[in-house]
């Protein structure tokens, strides 16, 4: 499989300011495979150490902070040379080894000539603890599920992926490309972007295999809930997790604690919810009351929506049968458009530096699905799961904040085009959003 993050790893390798690199991402997103493949392609050898499978390796780091003493022990344990610039030194499942995390400071300061990477399925949990490692001594890379472009490359549709990449005009896409892209997107809604699931689909073309593999991934996530340091939090994390399909099935997708458990209060479940966020299993999208820079300054921290990191995992958790994809565009609108919103969000997050928000007004009720910040422009985004593109809320937003709204964006199954100040982006072009929005803004100037 081709992962676009490989380009970022190459940039890290070649950087004059390189520090030890930590790769974050949800379990089963392909961190280990990507780093091993990166090492295979671009180094003479990979010195791989897994601190979950071999906890005894931690002793090398607990007895000394001297990198020059640690390296010979690792070389002997691994049975291979560790050479500056020629070996990729890979520490895996590092989240459970705080002394190894702490050692990255000394690799950075005293042995910068060594190329060191680390990864872990619950690394975000470990990094949330201030004592894990000194700030400023490591680089970070977030690895996300395979996006739709990577899915196209994996499923022998390189021509479609390349076509999307070369679009540089906001003009309708010919049906010869539009229709197969829409059909491929339906399949992506079934599989999602977890590499093992995509690989199983490529190998077998079996929906049953996709279902089984997704369920195994969900089971692995749920086993991770038990790794919370406070055992009493386990059932709370599980309840929040299992409530997510119900939360997203409502017309107003704002997260409600009483959907988790009748009578539940925020203070009871805040830690459990934050665990899911730190584990990269969910995205937390806060409400803003008005568009202003920075958007974080206008966030209402008491109102938010939760989405899953992968649309395929959401579909499987919601028990939505894959047969829906055979019935026209039903899959996009099923589940009140939650799958489509989740897909758009997971496509937007890797493209924009600032967090994604949403805007709403209670009386009368209006809501814009997502609010983006691109450079110093605030972009309202509406998500439509079919070809019906009427939107009172997007129009109301523009009327209310006319001076701050250069461009509005609508994702739908309509074709690519500009309608005055509204840029309509086909759902299957969500990975191209940042580039298309830049084109749309240039036309509005």
Q: Tell me the C-alpha distance between 338 and 198, whole Å.
A: 21
Supply the pLDDT for residue 9.
98
Pairing of strands 422-426, 417-419: antiparallel
> Do residue 336 and residue 227 come from a single domain?
yes
pLDDT (0 to 100) of residue 213: 98
Secondary structure class of 399 (helix, strand, coil): helix
Given the DSSP bridges, would you call strands 422-426 and 299-308 parallel, antiparallel or unpaired? Answer: unpaired
Sequence-ordered list of residues with C-beta below 8 angstroms from that of 352, at least 6 positions apart, any chain: 372, 373, 374, 434
Where is average pLDDT lowest: 103-112, 165-174, 227-236, 400-409? 227-236
Q: What is the mean pLDDT of residues 202-227?
A: 95
405 has pLDDT over 80: yes
Q: Is the pLDDT of residue 324 over 70?
A: no
Q: Are residues 56 and 118 in the same domain?
A: yes
Does residue 131 have a pLDDT over 70? no
> In this structure, is residue 184 part of a structural domain?
yes
Domain boundary, last residue among 117, 142, 167: 142
Question: Encoding tokens for residue 82?
Answer: 């560790």
Residues 321 and 255 in one domain: yes
In a domain, 170, yes or no: yes
DSSP assignment string, 353-365: SSPPEEEEETTTT
The predicted structure's pLDDT at residue 443: 86
Task: Supply the pLDDT for residue 1.
Answer: 83
Interatomic CA distance for residues 331 and 186, integer angstroms: 7
Q: What is the pLDDT of residues 34-54, one digit of tens each?
A: 999 999 999 999 999 999 999
Chain centroid offset of residue 124 CA: 13
Residue 367 has which token pair? 């809501």
Considering 126, 142, 158, which residue would you say is the last residue of a domain? 142
Q: Tell me how crowded residue 433 is: count the other CB atoms within 10 A of its CB.
A: 22
Same structural domain for residues 176 and 222? Answer: yes
Using pLDDT thresholds of 50, 70 and 90, give the confidence band for residue 344: very high
pLDDT digits (tens, 9 = 90+) for 355-376: 999 999 988 899 999 999 998 9
- Measured CA to CA, the distance from residue 175 to residue 239 in angstroms comes to 44
Position 155 in a domain: yes
Cα diameter, the chain: 69
Q: Are residues 108 and 190 in the same domain?
A: no
Instruction: Tell me: do 349 and 253 sit in the same domain.
Output: yes
How confident is the model over 286-310, as a mean pLDDT? 94
Measured CA to CA, the distance from residue 41 to residue 154 in angstroms comes to 19
Q: Given pLDDT bands bounded at 50, 70 and 90, which one contains residue 389?
A: confident
Closest-CA residue to 198 (of 148, 158, 266): 148
Q: Do 122 and 155 lie in a common domain?
A: no
- The neighbouring-strand residues paired with 87 are 45
Residue 324 lies in domain = 148-444
Based on the fold, state whether residues 292 and 407 are members of the same structural domain: yes
Query: In this structure, is residue 30 part of a structural domain?
Result: yes
- State both tokens at 245: 């399909």
Residues 209 and 332 in one domain: yes
The pLDDT score that the predictor gives to residue 132 is 58
Percent of the chain residues past pLDDT 90, beyond the cut: 84
Q: Which residues have C-beta within 8 Å of that of residue 190, sequence separation ≥ 6? A: 207, 210, 312, 315, 322, 325, 331
- Is residue 78 in some structural domain? yes
Residue 404 is inside which H or E element, if any?
none
Give the strand pairing for 282-288 and 357-361: parallel
Residue range 2-23, pLDDT digits in tens: 999 999 999 999 999 999 999 9
pLDDT in tens, 409-436: 999 999 999 999 999 999 999 999 999 9
The whole-number pLDDT of residue 125 equals 83
d(CA 120, CA 229): 17
Over residues 307-323, mean pLDDT: 94
Instruction: Specify the pLDDT at position 340.
Output: 94
Mean of the pLDDT values across residues 212-221? 97
Tell whether 60 is covered by a domain: yes
In the predicted model, what is the mean pLDDT of residues 211-233? 91
Cβ pair 372, 423 in contact under 8 A: no
Provide the strand spans (E) within 154-298: 282-288
Percent of the chain clearing pLDDT 70 (strictly above): 96
Closest CA to 127 of 200, 119, 35, 395: 119
SS3 3: coil
Structure confidence at residue 353 as a pLDDT band (50, 70, 90): confident
1 part of a folded domain: no
Domain count, the chain: 2
Write down the pLDDT at residue 325.
65
- Domain ends where: 87, 111, 142? 142
> What pLDDT does residue 133 have?
66
**Does one domain contain both 134 and 171?**
no
Q: Does the residue 408 lie in any domain?
A: yes
User: Residue 57 belongs to a domain with what CATH number?
Assistant: 3.40.50.300
- Residue 119's pLDDT band, with cuts at 50, 70 and 90, is very high
Model pTM score: 0.94
pLDDT for the residue 2: 92
For residues 338 and 217, membership in a common domain is answered with yes
Task: Give the pLDDT confidence score for residue 354 in this predicted structure.
Answer: 87
Residue 270 — very low, low, confident or very high, per pLDDT cuts 50/70/90? very high
Q: What is the pLDDT of residue 388?
A: 75
Query: Do 314 and 330 belong together in one domain?
Result: yes
């Amino acid at each position: 499989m081709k992962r676009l993050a490989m380009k970022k790893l190459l940039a890290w390798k070649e950087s004059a300011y390189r520090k030890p690199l930590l790769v974050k991402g949800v379990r089963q997103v392909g961190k280990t495979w990507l780093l091993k493949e990166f090492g295979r392609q671009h180094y003479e050898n990979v010195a791989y150490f897994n601190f979950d499978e071999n906890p005894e390796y931690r002793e090398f780091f607990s007895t000394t902070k001297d990198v020059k003493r640690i390296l010979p022990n690792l070389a002997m344990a691994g049975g291979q040379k560790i050479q500056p610039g020629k070996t990729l030194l890979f520490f895996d499942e590092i989240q459970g080894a705080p002394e190894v995390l702490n050692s990255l400071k000394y690799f950075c300061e005293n042995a910068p000539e060594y190329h060191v990477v680390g990864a872990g399925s619950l690394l975000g949990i470990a990094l949330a603890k201030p004592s894990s490692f000194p700030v400023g001594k490591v680089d970070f890379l977030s690895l996300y599920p395979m996006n739709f472009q990577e899915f196209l490359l994996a499923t022998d549709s390189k021509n479609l992926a390349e076509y999307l990449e070369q679009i540089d005009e906001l003009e309708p896409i010919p049906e010869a490309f539009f229709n197969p892209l829409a059909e491929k997107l339906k399949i992506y809604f079934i599989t999602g972007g977890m590499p093992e699931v995509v690989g199983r689909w490529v190998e077998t073309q079996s929906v049953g295999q996709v279902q089984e593999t997704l369920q195994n991934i969900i089971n692995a996530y749920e086993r991770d809930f038990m790794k919370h340091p406070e055992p009493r939090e386990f059932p709370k994390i599980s309840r929040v997790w299992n409530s997510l399909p119900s939360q997203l099935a409502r017309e107003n997708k704002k997260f409600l604690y009483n959907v988790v458990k009748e009578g539940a209060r925020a203070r009871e479940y805040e830690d459990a919810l934050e665990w899911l966020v730190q584990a990269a299993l969910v995205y937390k999208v806060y409400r803003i009351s008005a568009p202003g820079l920075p958007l974080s300054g206008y966030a209402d921290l008491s109102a938010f929506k939760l989405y899953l990191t992968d649309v395929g995992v959401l579909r499987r958790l919601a028990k939505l049968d894959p047969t829906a994809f055979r019935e026209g565009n039903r899959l996009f609108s099923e589940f009140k458009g939650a799958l489509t919103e989740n897909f758009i969000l997971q496509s937007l997050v890797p493209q924009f530096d600032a967090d994604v928000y949403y805007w709403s007004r209670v009386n009368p009720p209006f809501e814009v699905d997502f609010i983006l910040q691109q450079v110093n422009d605030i972009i309202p985004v509406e998500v439509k799961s079919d070809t019906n593109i009427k939107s009172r809320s997007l129009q109301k937003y523009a009327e209310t904040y006319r001076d701050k709204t250069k461009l509005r964006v609508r994702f739908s199954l309509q074709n690519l085009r500009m309608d005055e100040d509204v840029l309509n982006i086909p759902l299957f072009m969500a990975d191209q959003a940042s580039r298309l929005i830049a084109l749309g803004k240039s036309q509005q100037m």
